[in-house]
Amino acid sequence: MSFQFDSLTAFYTMGGHGPFVWLSYLFTLMVLVWLVASPLLRARRLRAALARRRPGAGHHRSAEEKES
Amino acid sequence: MARTRPIMPAWFHRLGSPKGFYSMTTPWLPWLAAASLVLLIGGAVWGLGFAPADAKQGNSFRIIYIHVPSAFLALAGYYVMAVAGAIGLIWRMKLSFVAMKAAAPLGAALTLISLVTGALWGKPTWGTYWVWDARITSMLVLFFLYLGVIALHYAYTNGEAAGKAAAVLALVGTANIPIIYKSVDWWYTLHQPATIKLTEAPSMHPSMFQPLLVMIAGFYCLYALVLILNIRAEILHRERGSHWVVELARSRRS
């Protein structure tokens, strides 16, 4: 197993297929990062809203807990 | 006094209760995250730089290392969603509709990745980004089925009613899955036949095939990670009135 390209430039251009290959990987990376980040951010929002709630407020829902 | 042996192991019941699921999956998260990161980065570097270029397609072939795993998981994820919906309809397990809802945006995103990377692969290989052939059209239908399940959850304010409606849609949509699988055999199409078949040896050279396996494993780990994260966030939302969630929010900042 060895590096398949003669130079870094050849690696970027990929014999003319570079834009297609790199755009594919970039798009995938962005979607995957969004997939991981969105539930983490949602959980953090929910926890923060619950932590702000007065102790003993019971089951009352405050405005900031309402999210889609 | 005779002690009766429980029919199902304890972990099964823990997995079925929101609180049990939440506490049980907490230690899994760093391992799943590490495994996905290592496999996906390793597989991508291997596929992009070290796997040989395809004799006919050249370097555009390297898109296979994300196109095939994402399509794989888009289909497997549909089973996860439909089976979770069926369990929710039949046995009314509390977590099953939560799992179904969690699987929908994940499946939609993976289907979108496979469609976009497929288009970007199609341009240098077939000369066009898009053709209305059987495989691609049935994948687009899969994307809309996922969007339908997501939309139904927004359409109902009642979580139970939303779950039932979405489960019915998910189950009806299962008819599309065998069409996707067989589309490359049933119809004349530009799309190449399946690279990996369970019943046959792979048609690829091992030097190309091994990084693909690494990427598929990486996508599986990431799928499990995101599914669990989605379920946990939904549990926090649905159980926000329970004592344990309020305590969790006050005590832990992680």
Chain A residues within an 8 Å CB radius of B121:
20, 24
Give the pLDDT score at A68.
Answer: 44
If you search the block for the tokens 């059987």, which residue do you land on? Answer: B134
DSSP state of A40: H
pLDDT in tens, A41-58: 999 999 999 888 766 555
User: At residue B253, does pLDDT exceed 80?
Assistant: no
Task: Give residue B191's pLDDT.
Answer: 83
C-alpha to C-alpha distances, B27 to B37, B39, B175, B187, B244, nearest whole angstrom = 17, 20, 37, 47, 18
Counting one residue from chain A and one from chain B, the pairs whose CB atoms sit within 8 A come to 112
Q: pLDDT-derived band of residue A63, with 50, 70 and 90 as boundaries?
A: very low
Is 80 exceeded by the pLDDT of residue B9? no
- Of A5, A20, A38, which has the smallest distance from its Cβ to B63's Cβ? A20
- Res. B185 pLDDT band, cuts 50 70 90: confident
Which of A5, A39, A51 minimises the CB distance to B49?
A: A5
| Chain B CB contacts of A40 below 8 Å | 229, 233
